[in-house]
Structure 1
Amino acid sequence: MINGFHLIELLITIFIISILATISSPLYTQYLTQARRLEAATVLSKLAIAMEHYYIEHNTYQGATLATLHFPNHIGKNHYQLNIQSIVDDDFLIIATPLAAQSKNDPLCGSLMLKANGEKNITGSGQIDECW
């Protein structure tokens, strides 16, 4: 009896591993995309709380910036860009815009938006509840 692997056994093993990798790769990408979107939604909620604290101290949202609120411009490792838009005395709109691979992998949700009254929205064609 000869010890070791035969070439056919090795090829079958490599074939099975490649099939498993092909199946699992899209699933991993999907979970990673959802996790990054959840991180962006969490940061938007924290930023909204910081905006409310700013409003309590200054009686206006005007003058609030990411820098004054100690928030970065990007979420994660450049997965989303964070912006404060449409600031008026008693209202604001904050947006997390997906960048690079996140934008490509998550077209149904697109950008996440949050208003001062807690209203959530998206720029994609998906369902708001599924994206948030």
Structure 2
Amino acid sequence: MAMRFQRAFTLIELMLALMIAAILTSLAYPAYIDHETQAERLRAEVALMQLAAQLEVYFSDNNSYDGATIHSLHVAMLMQGLDYRLKIAKASDMHYLIRAIPKNSQAERDTDCEILSLSDTNKRGISGDGSVNACWR
């Protein structure tokens, strides 16, 4: 009876392929996390601008920003699935300041920008060590 040889991967070839895959993954994962952090920050910026638009509607109805809350503006849905908490930090007769405060893993990852803020004069701010222009796109 003649023996037939079957072609297969050797253990060394398999381990080499796994090692290459692990190296590629270790190089790609930080870039993926950075992209995810920036995308979530962008979602928070959009939510802040939508909140600002609702505050302007509130002002046109009441001639004041005073008394506006997240709940009275019916913008709680802006925070659904968002790794930021929206907050009206200050609302007076003529001015407001709103903030997007990171939570969960976003708070740990986004140390350059941290808290995003937007005022009634469209002044944008951050509480982190990064630059406003780099954080607000």
Instruction: Tell me how far 1:100 sits from its aligned partner.
Output: 2.2
Larger Rg: 2
Query: Retained in 1: the 8 A contact 2:40–2:82?
Result: no
- Does 2:7 correspond to 1:9? no
Preserved CA contact (<8 Å) 2:112 2:128:
yes
Partner of 1:21: 25
Q: Distance in 2 between matches of 1:108 and 1:73?
A: 27
User: Kindly tell me: are residues 119 and 94 of structure 1, through their superposed partners in 2, closer, same or farther at Cα, counting changes over 3 Å?
Assistant: same
Instruction: Count the aligned residue pairs.
Output: 132
Aligned residue in 1 for 2:98: 94
Cα deviation for residue 104 of structure 1 reads 1.1
**Letter of the 2:48 counterpart:** L
Give the aligned partner of residue 57 of structure 2: 53
**SS at 1:121 equivalent:** strand
Percent of paired sites with the same residue: 35
For residues 9 and 47 of structure 2, the distance between their equivalents in structure 1, rounded to whole angstroms, comes to: 53
Which whole-Å CA distance do the structure 2 matches of 1:41 and 1:60 have between them?
23
Letter in 2 for 1:48: A
Q: 1:46 to 1:89 in 2, by over 3 A?
A: same
Structure 1 stretches lacking a partner, 5+ long: none
Give the aligned partner of residue 112 of structure 1: 116
Report the alpha carbon displacement of residue 78 of structure 1 after superposing the two structures with TM: 4.9
Q: In structure 2, what is the Cα distance between the partners aligned to 1:18 and 1:47?
A: 43
**Range with greater deviation from structure 2 (72-81 or 87-96):** 72-81
Q: Secondary structure at the match of 1:11?
A: helix
CA distance, structure 2, for counterparts of residue 43 and residue 74 of structure 1: 6
Query: Cα deviation per residue 1:19-39 (whole Å; 9 max; x = unaligned)?
Result: 011001100000000000000
**Match of residue 135 from structure 2:** 131
Q: 2: CA distance between counterparts of 1:86 and 1:46? A: 17
Structure 2 stretches lacking a partner, 5+ long? none
Q: In structure 2, do the counterparts of structure 1 residues 124 and 73 end up closer, same or farther at CA, with 3 Å as the change threshold?
A: farther
Q: Which residue of 1 aligns with 2:74?
A: 70
Please report the RMSD computed on the Cα atoms of aligned residues, expressed in angstroms. 1.4
1:74 Cα offset (Å): 7.0
Q: Distance in 2 between matches of 1:103 and 1:76?
A: 17
Secondary structure of 1:95's counterpart equals strand
Deviation of the 1:68 alpha carbon: 1.4
- Read off the aligned partner of 2:17 and give its amino acid letter: T
